[in-house]
Amino acid sequence: MTTLLWVLTLLLLGLGVMVLEVFVPSGGILGFVSIAALVAAVATAFLEQGATAGMAAVAVVVLAVPAVLALAFRWFPETPLGRRVLPPAPEAADVLPDLERRRHIRDLVGHSGRTVSELLPWGRVEIVGETVEAMSEGGPIDAGTAIEAVGVQGTALVVRPAEQRAAAPVPPIPPVAGAAPENTAAGGGSALSPTLEEFEFDGLEPAGEK
């Protein structure tokens, strides 16, 4: 067997064992054998055929290894072993939330209810006579708190505490009987005006002017 044939045999052996490593789990043994065969092919080409043949062997290894691996991984899922190792791709219905359930949850938006469990932020609420999964829009909500539905997250309601009713207006304090009014009715003048008019200002003149 000529040296060139040995080089080709080692190259084919290395690539073939590399494909087997993809399809047959061996704990890295087949991978080691594949790399050893490829290195032996390149070394034989350099030593027996010269630098030109050695560089050609290197080029074949560099180009063939990625191509062989890509084809092997492309075919692997279609093999019996590949179907056992790799799970099938999920269906669209398995990935997307239940559309009917989502529509039903969306119909609950705007209604009021009460938390069944504490929302941290996930929990359960009772709304329109139905217990559903929910999440808090803001911080935690204690169990038994009145809530209102404001949105949908997946198949869960987004809720927040119900707004408190506006406080009743405080009635005005009735006037105390006998208290003097703030303003006099006649002329709108101040109640202090008669007192100021009756006050004797002459007694306030400085002593030197008497």
| CA pair distance 80, 97, nearest whole angstrom | 31
156's tokens:
């869960």
What are the tens digits of pLDDT across the range 8-41? 888 888 888 888 887 777 778 888 888 898 999 8
CA distances in angstroms from 54 to 4, 37, 41, listed in the order given? 11, 14, 9
CA atoms within 13 A on the CB side of 31: 9
What are the tens digits of pLDDT across the range 83-111? 666 666 666 555 555 667 778 888 889 89
Mean per-residue pLDDT for 143-168?
78
| CA pair distance 3, 130, nearest whole angstrom | 82
| CA pair distance 150, 109, nearest whole angstrom | 5
Tracing tokens 């034989």 back to the chain, one arrives at: 44
Residue 70 or 22, more confident: 70
